[in-house]
Amino acid sequence: MSGYLLDTHVLLWFVEADPRLSDRAKDLLTNDDTNLSVSIVSLWEIVIKLNIGKLKIDYTTGDIYQLLDQLHVEVLPIEHTNLDCYLTLPLHHRDPFDRVLIAQAMNRRLALVSADQALHPYEVEQLW
């Protein structure tokens, strides 16, 4: 694996110091030698949930970007190859945000850092 793609909840739990974040995920996030990525889809999901009142956090999106910069986390765009892969994924999981993350992880050969067991049927390495 060339790096790790963080699921949205992993990013939020890290920022909030949430005890649900696994020790393994904490180690990855705090290791300077780890290549970390987050999808623009995760940031979009956070903004959508903030906008509709489904998520309450004590920091701004600017704070999130600053943290990502401090941690040297790359923000991945959605590329046409991700969309092509998305179309071929079986419908084991119907959440469109998660399905884009799966496609990005597959295309970039990244391990997906996620506690979401619904992602297990997909052919992507998942760490928790």
Contact assessment for residue 56 and residue 76, using Cβ atoms and an 8 Å cutoff: no
Residues recorded for the chain: 128
Residue 125 or residue 1, greater confidence: 125
In angstroms, the CA 62 to CA 28 distance is 23
Task: Report, as an integer, the average pLDDT of 103-114.
Answer: 96
CATH architecture for residues 4-127 = 3-Layer(aba) Sandwich (3.40)
Task: Report, as an integer, the average pLDDT of 78-105.
Answer: 92
What pLDDT shows up at residue 6?
97
Collapsing DSSP to helix, strand or coil, 121 comes out as: coil
Collapsing DSSP to helix, strand or coil, 38 comes out as: strand
Task: Report, as an integer, the average pLDDT of 106-115.
Answer: 96
In angstroms, the CA 30 to CA 67 distance is 12
Beta carbons within 10 angstroms of residue 15's beta carbon:
18
**Which amino acid belongs to residue 67?**
L
What pLDDT shows up at residue 1?
54
Contact assessment for residue 106 and residue 123, using Cβ atoms and an 8 Å cutoff: yes
Whether residue 120 has pLDDT greater than 80 = yes
Structure pTM?
0.91
Collapsing DSSP to helix, strand or coil, 6 comes out as: strand
**Which amino acid belongs to residue 55?**
L
Whether residue 40 has pLDDT greater than 70 = yes
